[in-house]
Amino acid sequence: MSAVEQPDTQAGLGPRRLAWEAVSETLKRRVPLDDVLDELSPAAGLSVRDEALARAIAIVTFRRLGTIGNALRERLDKGQRDERLLHLLAIGAAQILFLDIPDHAAVDTAVQLAQGDYKLKFAGGLINAVLRRVAREREAILKSPAAFLDTPDWLEDRWVAHYGEDVARQIAEAHRAPASVDLSVKGDAALWAERLGGVLLPTGSVRLVERVPIRELPGYAEGEWWVQDAAAALPARLLKPQPGQRLADLCAAPGGKTAQLAAAGAEVVAVDRSAKRLVRLTENLARLGLSVETRAIAAEKLEDAPFDGILLDAPCSATGTIRRHPDVTWTKGEDDLRKLVALQSRLLDKAASLLKVGGLLVYCTCSLEADEGEQQADAFLVRHPDFTREPIAESEVPGLSEALTPKGDLRTLPFHLAASEPVRGGVDGFFAARFVRTGS
Would you give the distance in Å from CA 165 to the centre of its chain? 23
End-to-end CA distance of the chain: 62
Neighbouring residues of 69: CB distance < 8 A, sequence distance ≥ 6: 90
Query: Which amino acid type is present at position 147?
Result: A
Length of the chain, in residues: 440
In angstroms, the CA 310 to CA 365 distance is 14
Question: Facing residues of 227 across strands?
Answer: 183
CB atoms under 10 Å from CB of 173, counted, come to 16
Whether residue 316 lies in the annotated active site: no
**What are φ and ψ of residue 313, in 5° steps?**
-95, 90
Residue 391: asked if its preceding bond is cis (omega within 30°), the reply is no
Are 170 and 412 in contact by the 8 Å Cβ rule? The answer is no
Determine which one of 251, 316, 364, 366 is catalytic.
366
Residue 307 three-state SS? strand
**Which residue type sits at 286?**
A
Residues 180, 185, 188, 190, Cα dihedral to 10°: 0
Contacts of 176 (CB under 8 A, 6+ apart): 63, 64, 150, 422
The phi, psi pair for 212, rounded to 5°, reads -140, 155
- Measured distance CA(155)–CA(132) in Å, rounded: 32
Helices and strands of the chain, counted as H and E runs: 17, 12
Residues taking part in catalysis: 366
